Structure 1
Amino acid sequence: MNSLSAKNNAIITFSALIALITWFALILQFYLSMTAYMAQGRTVGGALVEFFTYFTILCNILTATTLTAVALQGFNKSFFTKPGVLTAAAVYISIVCLVYNIALRGIAHPVGWGRAADELLHAICPPLFVLFWIISVPKPGISFKHAFSWLWYPFFYLVYVLIRGALCARYPYFFLEADKLGYPKVFFNIIILMLVFLAFSMLYVWIARIIARRAAA
């Protein structure tokens, strides 16, 4: 087995392992959340919408999907295996980890399997994906112009959250609760969030360019 084949096999193994861990955490959290929502008298539809409204869930689904695609196809074979998409996913999941551990960790105190799912989705799977991105994802071609296009996903997510919140007064995160904080405060929070997304996007592009230059040297 030559070095290239060994490297490809290592990437497949690494991506598949992280994908399995992430899918396990998502399935576990789905079971726990749906059970809790149904116990509260929620409808199945309402419970599903609630579950998939959390940015943490959506971003972990994205990283699990990209990792699965890489394990099955390699890089640049489909949308989810493009380096730009993988880098955007790294940006999003990094912010999930950052926001949770800085602003949200002290709010909820899950126990048992709930604690396991919570830690996996917020503190274990995100760093593993970032490590995968650093080690495995091809960096040539990732440029600063991509950073601005990566903002559309969180932007449309935030628009959806505000529209849904206006209709049913349910918000996934306290800093988006317009009914309590008022729209001026929420809009200020959104501006800060978007600036954080942009800063992280620029940071990842900068790191990618440094890694690409060193690899080419």
Structure 2
Amino acid sequence: MRRNFEILGFAMSCFAVVTQLILMLHNREASLGETLLRFVGYFTILTNTLVALYFAVRVFGLKRRMWVLFHRRATPMALTAFILVVGLVYQVALRKIWNPTGLQMIVDELLHTIVPVFMYVYWLMFQARNLVMWQELRSWLLFPVLYLGWVLLRGYYSGFYPYPFLNMDQLGTGTLVLNISMVLALMLLVMAALYFLGKLLRPKQ
């Protein structure tokens, strides 16, 4: 059953990321290089890609030496926290600003709703009871911090911001700092919630 979950998780997340790339390239309004940079500039894409790679490691038995990050104890919990934040932020702040149709709608739901829920269910069923130290989990916060730094630096020079709540040109410094603080606080809150849920579900020694 677990392997079937992992195969399905890999298939869904991989299809969603690859198809989104194809759609962006097909509808691009910038050069190929700029379009690819914009594609990897979305936290949604990066997080779904990490989820796809995690499931790929499990499905194909990829070697620990080359894929050590995806063999660490804290990785499933961290990825679950990040993909849940992707879903939560989309539902609250982004869903209302556009109305995709056709294949784009399917991909959109996969990236922001179906894969996040699926990853949470997978973690709850197969990973939640594994021992994870808070120090291991906390180190994953470097990922969103580095992402935000890159997005803001690139946006400053290119004028492109992947999300409206990170648009420094339109929001101003005060609102931007508030938005970033809220997103990081949400990530920490979700991560902490999963950590304590895992402790509750773990069998008593």
TM-score, normalisation: structure 2:
0.93
> Is the Cα–Cα contact under 8 Å of residues 165 and 171 in structure 1 kept in the other structure?
yes
1:147 to partner: Cα distance:
3.7
The answer on 1:12 being equivalent to 2:31 is: no
1:73 to partner: Cα distance:
2.6
Deviation per CA, 1:77-107: give whole Å up to 9, x if none.
Answer: 8321323011110010000000001110011
* Unaligned stretches of 5+ residues in structure 2: none
Q: Which residue identity lines up with residue 64 of structure 1 in the other structure?
A: A
Which residue matches 1:55?
Answer: 43
> Is the Cα–Cα contact under 8 Å of residues 7 and 59 in structure 2 kept in the other structure?
yes
1:148 to partner: Cα distance:
2.4
Which residue matches 2:152?
Answer: 162
Which residue matches 1:116?
Answer: 106
Q: Which residue identity lines up with residue 30 of structure 1 in the other structure?
A: L
Higher relative contact order (CA 8 A, sep 6+): 2
Q: Pairwise mapping of residues 1-217 of structure 1 onto structure 2 (< 5 A)?
A: 10-37=1-28, 40=29, 42-73=30-61, 78-137=68-127, 139-213=129-203, 216=204
Q: Which structure has the larger Rg over C-alpha atoms?
A: 1
Change (3 A) 1:53 1:107: same
1:138 to partner: Cα distance:
5.8
TM-score, normalisation: structure 1:
0.88
> Is the Cα–Cα contact under 8 Å of residues 97 and 122 in structure 1 kept in the other structure?
yes
Q: Give 3-state SS (helix, strand or coil) of 2:143's partner.
A: helix
Whole-angstrom distance in 1 between the partners of 2:20 and 2:130:
36
1:159 to partner: Cα distance:
0.6
Q: Which stretch of the first structure deviates more once superposed, 130-139 or 25-34?
A: 130-139
Deviation per CA, 1:102-148: give whole Å up to 9, x if none.
Answer: 11001111110010110111111110011111111263321322342
> Is the Cα–Cα contact under 8 Å of residues 91 and 200 in structure 1 kept in the other structure?
yes
